[in-house]
Structure 1
Amino acid sequence: MNKQELFGYMPAEPYRTAVAYFSMEYAIDQSLKIYAGGLGFLAGSHLRSAYHLQQDFVAVGLLWKYGYYDQLRDTTNHMTAAFIEKNYSFLTDIDLTFSVIVHQSPVHVKVYLLPPATFGCAPLFLLTTDIPENDELSRSITHRLYESNEATRIAQNIVLGIGGAKMLDLLALTPEVYHLNEGHAVALNFYLYDKFKDLAEVKKRVVFTTHTPEMAGNEAHSFALLDTMSFFYHLTETAVKALLSLSGEQFNYTLTALKFARKANGVSKLHALTAQQMWGGNAGICPIIAITNAQNHDHWSDILLSQHLVASDREAFWRRKQALKHELFQVVADQCGKLFRDDILTIVWARRFAGYKRSGLLMAEWSAFVNLVTQVKFPVQLIWAGKPYPGDAYGTGEFNQLINRSFGFSNCAVLTGYELRLSSLLKKGADVWLNTPRLYHEASGTSGMTAAMNGTVNLTIPDGWVPEFARDLVNCFLIPTAPQTLQDAQKDELENKALLQILTEKVLPLYYEQPEEWFRVALAAYGDVRTAFGSDRLAQQYYQELYA
């Protein structure tokens, strides 16, 4: 495949190392629903910057027929997950079908291409098994992102890793570097080992990004099941254990990727240290450096807001921010029947829904929460949004509990449909972006970056990327954290009190009584985040420190 035709450009001089990037999800445009959360948001911004910088960079993913899920409401106003078939006329059928072995049987894979010019991103090849040549079981492999069935998940990993690598060979696009964005595509290493017959030759070509700072969150399956599923390509379980010095019954994707890669990165400085501590005791793993996540400024920031911030025009900034709040509040009115006001400080908590992110921390002491949302001196408005995993009963219950507890307050709303468009509206329309993870549980947490790109001030626990950015009371508000020796319930109690104190004593008085100072904080945040946490820096740093 000709690169000029594929990219629309010949790669620029600093970026002529050919890279293939493998990820389970990509958040590129609202119309292409093949993402779940932060992993996809990162990948989408990375692809935009790779295109902007004219890098020799292609991406490989799966074409999810039903996406992640559509987040709707049932008759009781609670969240429900709907799986609705998606169709995309803007994808190009490149007339390539081939087979991979899954569970000792051939599965046919068809390839589509998202052309770079469509959304201004690097070429993205999307693989599907939902074609007439397959039986229904094989067709279902690429139906749902993060399918709960274990065998189906493994089959998805095989199609992404082995299928993606085989596709690149068939297209004569064999890269110099294979970049695994998380461990889902780790099976491609077994394809490469079969090709080169030498672990050192595989290591020359593979790099890896780990995103998960908790051991339980790193995917693992039994060797026996993976062997049965043909995950190891032409190797036996015994040969895999000998090759990588592995033992035990469980095969861990992250550990294996670290053994196959020549270099890996954590997604913030804090996370890289955590990853080194988690995996450093294992023989044969590669070095783990820090390349902090980033987001694409041109895609995420409101053009007029940016212009007013660059010009330090406070009055124009306030007018534009109120207009964006009004746009967001139309969604609140439509979904919740509540009329929010443009002149009231609005706090948003919105991100991938997971227990450690503590969506309900502000409500942990109920009487204090009621006092906050009913006091009239410094009125507030609160919005929550996010998608729990559809099979996570606890997460869905937590989401619905937010709906129940906020129902009686006219200034509190819980929104469904948290995808790219709503995420953008929230970040542009918020005054305060609330981030409340348990310390050392958030690998990066990039939503605060795109909020700051829109003049929204972070109120945050100092986890993930935040320590590299935060200047308390200068570009954000930091929530003091409880001693790590305490139990989670005690931490929640103390950090709830600290959060409420920061809100009532610093955030609200500054917003209402010192608007010039508030603008100074928003302006500092915008300036600090724009370059250091823009995805052009990320894409450049990957070439300089991981691909070189």
Structure 2
Amino acid sequence: MNTEYNTWHHPYKPAVKYKKKVAYFSMEFGIDQSFNIYSGGLGFLAGSHMRSGYELKQNMIGIGMLWKYGYYDQARNDDQTLRTEFNEKHFDFLEDTGIEVEVKLHDNPHVKVRAYVLKPEIFGTVPMYFLTTDVDGNDHLSRTITNHLYDANEVTRVSQSIVLGIGGAKVVEALGGADTYHLNEGHALPAFYYLKDQGVKKSQMVFTTHTPEKAGNEERDARHLNRCGFFGRTLSEAELKKESVNGGMINYTISALRMAKKANGVSKLHAKVANDMWKDYKGVSKIIPITNAQNQKFWQDASIKKAWANKKVKAYKTRKTILKKELFEEVFKQTGKTFDPKVLTIVWARRFAGYKRADLLLHDIERFKKLISNQKYPVQIIWAGKPYPYDYYAIDVFNHLVNHSKTEPNLAVLIGYEIELSKKLKCGSDVWLNTPRITREASGTSGMTAAMNGSVNVSTDDGWIPEFAKDGENSFVLPAIDYQLPIWDQDNIDANNLYDILENKVIPTYYNNPKKWQDIVFKGMDGVIPEFTSKRMADEYYKKLF
């Protein structure tokens, strides 16, 4: 083993208040466009955390997976509909640490896991270690475990959790161990089982949950997991029974909540929802709120920041026009449509999932047509985002939007929603549209980075929004509705409220009262900085969780 790597590779002496050694496990990290091993919000959040950890000189390392094909590459078929491509990725900025550990997977007791280090000086993060099973000496099947983020094959998914959890914990041991082990979501749950057997105490384990709906919290058959090697050893029938819930299942979130000394949700509303979700299960830890945030230095355009800090309206508008033109070059490149920087531009861009309702604007097609063909108050609308490659409902919604926008000169659907396009959309939009069904969005950090760049949030009152929004002052919020109503009714009410707000408030303000619009833009920035920057968040994790 290369001794240079047998250490926590910090280029700085950790700050006194952050000296506790923390190992942060996450299935995905969104750190840089060139390092495309992430799918969306969870990755963006983890990436911002690693950057702020570095900026604050925290004694932390990241443990992740080196996905050979990333998540997937978004392409188009001949008719512009979505095509998913899996292309091998190459990252020459990672260095082989020489650390190799073994995990038991199914009937194979010797699957090799190798760790590559991402040094802090590359992207300005804490040191990060990425695991791969694509290692000489592994059989073909073992080598493919780290091929695809969120592999559709159930058995592969379980193996990925074992590699990240147990493989990751063993890599941390090889690096001298940690004071605190933090799981960002339940994917790396096997780490807790393994560490417990190594004598790591409950007081050293903490957990973050991001998923406010029961169906989104992984649950698998306990006996099957036992055969797979999920627990680091074979559990007896009695031990298995103790770990099981819901008739012989292991629920990743419940197990993590039982083993962690403390857990957190990712907004105040989400912590409330999550505590309520799991309250009937014995022995679960309390879930406190630590609201998600994003890295200001990485996401905020420098000229926009300067104009906002000095409240220079002219400088802001000049820069915003340039940023809109940059976004519209991308629109032209992808769709052949010429967008106008003087026109109000609405963007809906995030992971394509059913509850996020990408197509809510099309709910009442007559009203939508009226909205997009108003000559007095023109609008331009852009959609972007990645559906899960095997979520055929979400792909169908994406394709429906593509087909609908083809014939309209002021509608566009873009592909390639990763960090680079995300930045362009946040910097170049006037309105950031966020339409999840209430209580289903744990946090929703894209609206934070959009606000940092002067894009005004128009949103349902979910996730982080209740902590930020002052309706009509720094954003526009849809009236609260009863989230226990049937989905059909929720969508009807929300869609009508959305049309009302756009027709009567958002669009007229933009065109008739530019001074008021500019005030909302700057107040949005005031509200988001520093409260929703990951500097605040990374500090809170040390204070409240670690």
Q: TM-score, normalised by structure 1?
A: 0.97
Does the Cα contact within 8 Å between 2:145 and 2:159 map onto a contact in 1? yes
Deviation at residue 482 of structure 1 after TM alignment: 3.3
2:189: which partner in 1?
186
2:127: which partner in 1?
123
In 2, Cα distance between equivalents of 1:495 and 1:4:
53
Give secondary structure in 2 for the equivalent of 1:504.
Answer: helix
Give secondary structure in 2 for the equivalent of 1:85.
Answer: coil
Does the Cα contact within 8 Å between 2:210 and 2:265 map onto a contact in 1? yes
1:134: which partner in 2?
138
Deviation at residue 483 of structure 1 after TM alignment: 3.1
In 2, Cα distance between equivalents of 1:284 and 1:183:
17
Give secondary structure in 2 for the equivalent of 1:356.
Answer: helix
Please show how residues 367-406 of structure 1 align to structure 2 within 5 Å.
Answer: 367-406=366-405
2:495: which partner in 1?
496
CA deviation profile, 1:363-418 (whole Å, cap 9, x unmatched): 10001000110111110000000000001111111100000111111000000000
In 1, Cα distance between equivalents of 2:380 and 2:42:
29
Please show how residues 220-369 of structure 1 align to structure 2 within 5 Å.
Answer: 220-241=219-240, 244=243, 246=245, 248-369=247-368
CA deviation profile, 1:174-214 (whole Å, cap 9, x unmatched): 00100000000000112112211xxxx53111000000000
Please show how residues 68-147 of structure 1 align to structure 2 within 5 Å.
Answer: 68-105=71-108, 106-147=110-151
Does the Cα contact within 8 Å between 2:161 and 2:187 map onto a contact in 1? yes
| Counterpart AA for 2:111 | V
In 2, Cα distance between equivalents of 1:81 and 1:519:
40
| Counterpart AA for 1:84 | N
1:457: which partner in 2?
456
In 2, Cα distance between equivalents of 1:371 and 1:230:
58
Deviation at residue 481 of structure 1 after TM alignment: 3.6
In 1, Cα distance between equivalents of 2:438 and 2:314:
37
Does the Cα contact within 8 Å between 1:190 and 1:235 map onto a contact in 2? no
In 1, Cα distance between equivalents of 2:144 and 2:483:
44
In 2, Cα distance between equivalents of 1:228 and 1:484:
40
1:416: which partner in 2?
415
Classify 1:33/1:418 alpha carbon distance in 2 versus 1 (closer, same or farther; 3 Å).
same
Does the Cα contact within 8 Å between 2:402 and 2:412 map onto a contact in 1? yes
Deviation at residue 488 of structure 1 after TM alignment: 1.1
Classify 1:485/1:120 alpha carbon distance in 2 versus 1 (closer, same or farther; 3 Å).
closer
Deviation at residue 485 of structure 1 after TM alignment: 4.3
The ranges of structure 1 where at least 4 consecutive aligned residues each deviate by more than 4 angstroms after the TM superposition are 1-5, 242-247
2:63: which partner in 1?
60
CA deviation profile, 1:27-84 (whole Å, cap 9, x unmatched): 0000001100100010000000000000000010010000000000011211011000
In 1, Cα distance between equivalents of 2:36 and 2:88:
10
Deviation at residue 268 of structure 1 after TM alignment: 0.3
Deviation at residue 280 of structure 1 after TM alignment: 1.3
Does the Cα contact within 8 Å between 1:21 and 1:59 map onto a contact in 2? yes
Give secondary structure in 2 for the equivalent of 1:305.
Answer: helix
Deviation at residue 3 of structure 1 after TM alignment: 9.2
Deviation at residue 239 of structure 1 after TM alignment: 4.5
| Counterpart AA for 2:227 | T
In 1, Cα distance between equivalents of 2:236 and 2:270:
31
Does the Cα contact within 8 Å between 1:45 and 1:535 map onto a contact in 2? yes
Classify 1:358/1:185 alpha carbon distance in 2 versus 1 (closer, same or farther; 3 Å).
same
In 2, Cα distance between equivalents of 1:419 and 1:17:
33
1:446 matched to 2:442? The reply is no
Deviation at residue 248 of structure 1 after TM alignment: 2.2
Does the Cα contact within 8 Å between 1:3 and 1:9 map onto a contact in 2? no
Deviation at residue 493 of structure 1 after TM alignment: 1.3
| RMSD (CA atoms) | 1.3
Does the Cα contact within 8 Å between 1:223 and 1:237 map onto a contact in 2? no
Does the Cα contact within 8 Å between 2:81 and 2:402 map onto a contact in 1? yes
In 2, Cα distance between equivalents of 1:245 and 1:502:
47
2:516: which partner in 1?
517
Gaps of 5+ in 2: none
In 1, Cα distance between equivalents of 2:156 and 2:212:
25
Does the Cα contact within 8 Å between 1:182 and 1:209 map onto a contact in 2? yes
Q: TM-score, normalised by structure 2?
A: 0.97
Does the Cα contact within 8 Å between 2:18 and 2:59 map onto a contact in 1? yes
Gaps of 5+ in 1: none
5-14 or 272-281, which deviates more: 5-14
Give secondary structure in 1 for the equivalent of 2:173.
Answer: helix
CA deviation profile, 1:80-117 (whole Å, cap 9, x unmatched): 11000001000011112221111131111111000011
Does the Cα contact within 8 Å between 2:347 and 2:425 map onto a contact in 1? yes
Find the partner of 1:45 among 23, 44, 48: 48
- Aligned identity (percent) is 49
Does the Cα contact within 8 Å between 1:258 and 1:286 map onto a contact in 2? yes
279-288 or 444-453, which deviates more: 279-288
127-136 or 53-62, which deviates more: 127-136
